[in-house]
Structure 1
Amino acid sequence: MTNRTFKSGESRDQASLLPARIEDYVGADNPVRAIESFVRVLDLAKLGFRHADRKAEGVGQPPYDPADLLKLYLYGYINQIRSSRRLEREACRNLELIWLLKNLKPGYRTIGNFRKENWVALKAANRSFVLLMRELGLVGGSVVAIDGSFFHGDASKASIFTRKRLADQIGKLDQEIEAYGKSLEDNDAAEARKPGQDGSDGGGAGGGDLGAKVAALMAKRSRAQADLARLEENGETQLSLTDPDARLLVKSGQGVAGYNVQTAVDDKHKLIVASEVVNDSSDVGQLHAMAIAAKEALEVKTLQVLADEGYYSSRELKACEDDGITAYVPVPEGSARLEKQGRFALKDFNYDGVSDTYHCPGGHQLHPMKSRQKNTSGRVEIRYAARGAICRTCPLKIRCLGSNAAYRTIGRWEHEDVLERHRARMQGAGEVMRRRFGIVEHPFGTLKCRAGYRHFLVRGFDKVRGEWSLMALCYNFTRVLNILGFDAFLAALAKAVATCRCTLAALLTPIQVALAALWTNIGLPLAIGRPTPA
């Protein structure tokens, strides 16, 4: 036996009568086989993928099958490979991708254009997987948690201008132009004082340079003024020069140039059942839209929704209640300022629904006024006022009235009963709200920390929403594969295909029966009129 220093491989020049197949390099339980099976189940033409319903043509180079490019992207996003150039390289050297694509090697432009052009179809594919999760019983359908997270866009903070920033820029440019203008005047005066010169050379050697700088500043100021006018005309607050839909989002002192991704996560297995991409840094106004999207995706009549304090809105709570959605949102401490001043807040006044009056801490009544008014948020409120004579002699006057107020007034929203039911519900919701954090933060933590997906590679709402659909789909795909296991996942896909075929057969059976009866009726007269052979 020969002693060897190290293990040695086979010679690269070794000839082989039967070379190894690509199939031999991919194990029977390799996740790429799950990707292959899932894409095979999808009806790409129905989902809207470009070229999915293309028929063979006589001339020209045929395009790549959208199924192959979708497999490529699913594999890439599951394995933290998003760049079209990196996907092109991996398709040439990665044995799993060589097996998955059957040795196809698409170029990076083809790969990148597929993601840009099929954003609607990518959203539809994500929705179809949510339906599959529901059919497999992986979603509870009773409780979802909603939250948002900032993702960087393909734009920098310097490329986004607000009205204030444009106004400040115009002010600084005016100062610089004025300074350069003064320099030109001083230069002209100095040249005029020199003996033997009449100053007709345009300000001496430095005059031309100063004039060019002033012209550049004037052009820059004109562009800034045009951008400011554009913002005022459109009623927008920000202008992005790189990505037109990206915005400067600020929360808790942290600024991000990008988008706010909203998700609704089911509590059973922490799967994303609904999501949307917006460019507003505030979560106010997103509660009802996300809750409705989750309810429609789950196809349930009632739903419990958990959200943090940033989603609190009286109008959103009423809209949720009207649509059979029970919302749990912490009530913000809006009266903290009055409490710090030692004054009575709204919660210190008790409402009596029978008499439609408020009772103040001093035991007196506040009666409704005839007029209605809108507050700063646009809500119609009923004003309740106490008697001025009682307030002037009340011993609690200092803690109740402001410095210029003659009597105490309270505003009550015309749908205040919705908020009262919500406040009563939140009294014992401590355990439910503790669950919220563990439910909704799981997908964001996985995508941002494990996968490293903190930014988008594309620009514009449509393309960004398509890329987010890929992220959400791959997160759900990986999690479902881990929950069920490889064999159970493939069995579930096979069952889904069989169910679809059975449904199609059930729909076709009446049609076949009707056609058979039709042909029988048609064939009977033909048989009667046919001459009998001799």
Structure 2
Amino acid sequence: MTIRTFKSGDSREQSNLLPPRIEDYVGLDNPVRAIDVFVGALDFAKLGFKHADRGVGVGQPPYDPSDLLKLYLYGYVNQIRSSRRLEREAGRNLELIWLLKNLTPGYRTIATFRKENWAALKAANRSFVLLMRELGLVGGTLVAVDGALFHGNASKASIFTQGKLTKQIAALDKEIEAYGKALEANDAQEAKQRSDGPADGSKGDGGDVGEKVKELMARRERAQADLNILETSDKGQLSKTDPDARLLSKGDQTIAGYNVQSVVDDKHMLIVASDVVNRNDTGHLHEMAKAAKEVLDVETLQAAADTAYYNSEDLKACEDDGIVAYVPLHEGNGKLEKEGRFSRKDFSYDASADAYRCPAGELLRPTEGRWKNASGRVEIRYLGRKAACAACPLRAQCLAPKASYRSIARWEHEDVLERHRTRMESDEAAKLMRRRSAIVEHPFGTLKCRAGYRHFLVRGFDKVRGEWSLMALCYNFTRVLNILGFDRFVAYLEKLRIAREDLLAVTLRAIQLALQPLRPKIPLWLAVRPFRTASVP
């Protein structure tokens, strides 16, 4: 009978355990090579990365920003975001050893790169979207817009509202009062007993109470100062940890963080525009759809969103900019319907007569002049006749008990909403809305569930937007690589890199010719500060 053996590894004493060349550490079709080629095709000076122009001077050379971007792209593609983990992986991960050519930057350098280059990271993300457009991977006809909540680098307890601070101050006042009474009782007891300890609260049992009262008073002063800040500013919340994080709610979920707005093209579910905000979805439809329309470079664009994006001003702005919006109707008369009374949708507008016709057949005529409502929207008021409303058999279903006539406010651009209402009642809109969630939820589902990206590691709008750009870029990068395949993707990137290098060579030659008459005493290259270079294997 043959005894079964286990699989055995190679001896650690064996020489050349790894290939003698770093180039042999990864296969020819390893995705890490696509990262290398993509970064090599970028114009770092144009994108705005720090140290991209090398600079002149003395001192220790900086790391090439292209190497640090490669490190971050590899990390975010492979669910490694921590600067300390990236530092460790750079020294032991064969793919990173190949990608960085044996460079091992420290975690502070890695973290500083992400912190300082937030604007350049946004530009790099946008450049990849333009690349997707050149590759024909975006349809440019239909996009879906949605927002998702991501936790910030802050806790819910670190964010205050006026109501929360008011309750906190009231609770502190009660606690201070209770301790004050305890302190008075303690002083009275000490005076009665004529104890040796002083009765001023500096020692003995009363001393502890006195210190506690001082602590509570200090906390109250801080809470009152925070409340004063909120009362004198237009901010509804005050965050003590991350100044831009807010308490946000969606459904039954409440987080301390940000709302990531994403616009996804329907052809391959690629993110074509995105932003990070700290408010709800309302009011972001036009700005996001317009950003997508500009980057896609199209004349018209269909944009689908859920009911949270319904906003009359946004719908008009979309129509003015050639964006056909599909957003579920939000009539806003739910209260009347619950009371069993006629809502706005029960009244039909007669454009030829410029009047509304009520369910009983009577006309509501416009009044002279226009009014601004609480939100600043200019409206025209249409009123029913008192006599007709008083004698109407449907009065109980139409008017409040004390009302003598029915009135309807019509926005000055109500025709925009009527066209939108007609569009949403079509079969095409029903089919499109069924597709909407499948389009826009794909990136969020991939990033949150597969990659585990549910929170940001940095603080503040600028840095958070930079980190989101890394997430979006890596999502698009991975998806494009899967769609095109390694060979096609890398071949196209190589063409871009060669074209950029040819342009750079022509530019350098022109500079050299221009400087030739000056005849410098030392070659120009001696004054150029080099980047850190990899060691030779």
Q: Do they superpose with TM above 0.5?
A: yes
Moved more, 230-239 or 440-449: 230-239
Q: Alignment partner for residue 401 of structure 2, among 381, 403, 406?
A: 403
- Taking the aligned partners of 2:243 and 2:15, their CA distance within structure 1 comes to 58
Deviations 1:320-379 (A, max 9, x none): 111111100001242222122221111111111111111111111111011322222221
- Taking the aligned partners of 1:79 and 1:424, their CA distance within structure 2 comes to 46
- Taking the aligned partners of 2:273 and 2:448, their CA distance within structure 1 comes to 18
- The structural deviation recorded for 1:6 is 3.6
| Corresponding residue pairs, total | 507
What is the match of residue 215 of structure 1? 214
**Quick check: 1:51–1:65 contact (8 Å CA) kept in 2?**
yes
Q: SS in structure 1 opposite 2:154?
A: coil
Q: 1:17 to 1:285 in 2, by over 3 A?
A: closer
Alignment of 1:295-444 (within 5 A): 295-428=293-426, 429-444=429-444
What is the match of residue 141 of structure 1? 140
- Taking the aligned partners of 1:505 and 1:65, their CA distance within structure 2 comes to 19
Query: Which amino acid is 2:44 matched to?
Result: L
What is the match of residue 467 of structure 1? 467
Alignment of 1:514-525 (within 5 A): none
How large is the RMSD of aligned CA atoms in angstroms?
Answer: 2.4
Deviations 1:487-512 (A, max 9, x none): 0101221333466679999999xx9x
- The structural deviation recorded for 1:188 is 2.3
Deviations 1:221-272 (A, max 9, x none): 0000001111112221111111111111112231101100000000000000
Deviations 1:423-451 (A, max 9, x none): 00000111000110000000000000000
Q: 1:21 to 1:347 in 2, by over 3 A?
A: same
Do residues 12 (structure 1) and 12 (structure 2) align? Answer: yes
Q: TM-score, normalised by structure 1?
A: 0.91
- The structural deviation recorded for 1:199 is 9.1
Query: Which amino acid is 2:103 matched to?
Result: L
Moved more, 335-344 or 164-173: 335-344
**Quick check: 1:192–1:199 contact (8 Å CA) kept in 2?**
no
What is the match of residue 284 of structure 1? 282
Moved more, 98-107 or 370-379: 370-379
What is the match of residue 247 of structure 2? 248
Q: SS in structure 1 opposite 2:242?
A: coil
**Quick check: 1:26–1:99 contact (8 Å CA) kept in 2?**
yes
- The structural deviation recorded for 1:3 is 8.7
- The structural deviation recorded for 1:205 is 2.3
Do residues 108 (structure 1) and 107 (structure 2) align? Answer: yes
**Quick check: 1:73–1:82 contact (8 Å CA) kept in 2?**
yes
**Quick check: 2:159–2:240 contact (8 Å CA) kept in 1?**
yes
Do residues 450 (structure 1) and 436 (structure 2) align? Answer: no
What is the match of residue 87 of structure 1? 86
Q: SS in structure 1 opposite 2:255?
A: strand
Do residues 24 (structure 1) and 24 (structure 2) align? Answer: yes
Query: Which amino acid is 2:453 matched to?
Result: Y
Q: SS in structure 2 opposite 1:457?
A: coil
Q: 1:433 to 1:15 in 2, by over 3 A?
A: closer
Q: 1:463 to 1:507 in 2, by over 3 A?
A: closer
Moved more, 328-337 or 209-218: 328-337
- Taking the aligned partners of 1:432 and 1:17, their CA distance within structure 2 comes to 57
- The structural deviation recorded for 1:17 is 12
What is the match of residue 60 of structure 2? 61
Query: Which amino acid is 2:45 matched to?
Result: A
Alignment of 1:144-163 (within 5 A): 144-163=143-162
- Taking the aligned partners of 1:16 and 1:179, their CA distance within structure 2 comes to 76
- Taking the aligned partners of 1:202 and 1:458, their CA distance within structure 2 comes to 49
Q: SS in structure 2 opposite 1:216?
A: helix
- Taking the aligned partners of 1:507 and 1:361, their CA distance within structure 2 comes to 75
**Quick check: 2:35–2:74 contact (8 Å CA) kept in 1?**
yes
**Quick check: 1:372–1:381 contact (8 Å CA) kept in 2?**
yes
Q: SS in structure 1 opposite 2:367?
A: strand
- Structure 1: which 5+ runs fail to align? 516-534
- Taking the aligned partners of 1:393 and 1:19, their CA distance within structure 2 comes to 96
- Taking the aligned partners of 1:253 and 1:207, their CA distance within structure 2 comes to 47
Q: SS in structure 2 opposite 1:145?
A: strand
Q: 1:294 to 1:459 in 2, by over 3 A?
A: same
Q: SS in structure 2 opposite 1:304?
A: strand
- Taking the aligned partners of 1:423 and 1:507, their CA distance within structure 2 comes to 56
- The structural deviation recorded for 1:20 is 2.2
What is the match of residue 531 of structure 1? none
Query: Which amino acid is 2:268 matched to?
Result: H
Q: 1:358 to 1:502 in 2, by over 3 A?
A: farther
**Quick check: 1:188–1:199 contact (8 Å CA) kept in 2?**
no
Q: SS in structure 2 opposite 1:110?
A: helix
Q: TM-score, normalised by structure 2?
A: 0.90
Q: SS in structure 1 opposite 2:364?
A: strand
Give % identity: 70
Q: 1:102 to 1:78 in 2, by over 3 A?
A: same
- Taking the aligned partners of 2:157 and 2:147, their CA distance within structure 1 comes to 24
Q: SS in structure 2 opposite 1:276?
A: strand
- Taking the aligned partners of 2:257 and 2:287, their CA distance within structure 1 comes to 21
**Quick check: 1:80–1:452 contact (8 Å CA) kept in 2?**
yes
Whose radius of gyration is greater, 1 or 2? 1
Q: 1:364 to 1:499 in 2, by over 3 A?
A: farther
Moved more, 494-503 or 42-51: 494-503
Q: 1:114 to 1:498 in 2, by over 3 A?
A: closer
